């Protein structure tokens, strides 16, 4: 289930399911306050918080092998992880990228690749993504790959708005 993706001038990324052996790379992302500020957790995660969350996600057995968490790697370095999981009857997309790869169009290209590779029975369904209004980079990213604003709600504790974007269906 490994896939090579070419980007730009010959940069090759490899996509494969995330494993517990990827924990250190995910912990590096989740311990970074700048990376985590707009996530549902809202703050950097401790080593044990990240380990428990990753173990919880990896312990779920989905009916479809296309669901779960996938990583895109530049050689052995985690560039972006993408998660597609059912939550409350909706297919929810989540993602996180290493800051060294921000602002280059790489994350949108990798998420586009992920969505394009979904089989028809999944790709025909609506896919949702939650993005805080203050996270303008993620708003541009989801809009660039075809998501449209579906709903929003105030986040009074963060003085922000949570926007739900939808693709397809």
Residue located via tokens 């590096």: 28
- In angstroms, rounded to a whole number, what is the distance separating the alpha carbons of residues 1 and 66? 10
Q: Are 147 and 162 in contact (CB under 8 A)?
A: no
If pLDDT is split at 50, 70 and 90, which confidence band does 120 have?
Answer: confident
pLDDT one-digit tens code per residue, 38-57: 777 777 888 899 999 899 99
Instruction: Write out the two tokens for 4.
Output: 């090579």
- The pLDDT, as a whole number, for residue 107 is 92
- Higher pLDDT pick, 51 / 156: 51
Instruction: Write the pLDDT tens digit of every residue in 24-35.
Output: 999 999 998 888
- Answer CATH for 3-167 from 3.40.630.30, 3.40.50.1110, 3.40.50.720, 3.40.50.300: 3.40.630.30
Q: Domain map of the chain by residue range?
A: 3-167
Q: Is the pLDDT of residue 60 over 90?
A: yes
């Amino acid at each position: 289930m490994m896939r090579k993706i070419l980007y730009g001038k010959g940069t090759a990324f490899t996509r494969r399911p995330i494993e517990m052996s990827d924990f250190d790379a995910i912990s590096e992302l989740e311990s970074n306050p700048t990376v985590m500020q707009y996530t549902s957790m809202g703050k950097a995660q401790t080593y044990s918080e990240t380990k428990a969350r990753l173990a919880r996600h990896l312990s779920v057995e989905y009916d479809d092998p296309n669901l779960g968490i996938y990583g895109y790697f530049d050689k052995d370095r985690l560039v972006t992880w993408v998660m597609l999981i059912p939550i409350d009857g909706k297919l929810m997309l989540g993602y996180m990228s290493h800051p060294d790869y921000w602002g280059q169009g790489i994350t949108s290209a990798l998420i586009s690749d992920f969505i394009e590779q979904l089989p028809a029975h999944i790709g025909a369904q609506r896919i949702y993504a939650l993005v805080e209004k203050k996270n303008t980079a993620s708003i541009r990213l989801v809009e660039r790959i075809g998501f449209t604003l579906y709903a929003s709600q105030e986040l009074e504790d963060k003085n922000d708005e949570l926007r739900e974007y939808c693709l397809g269906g």
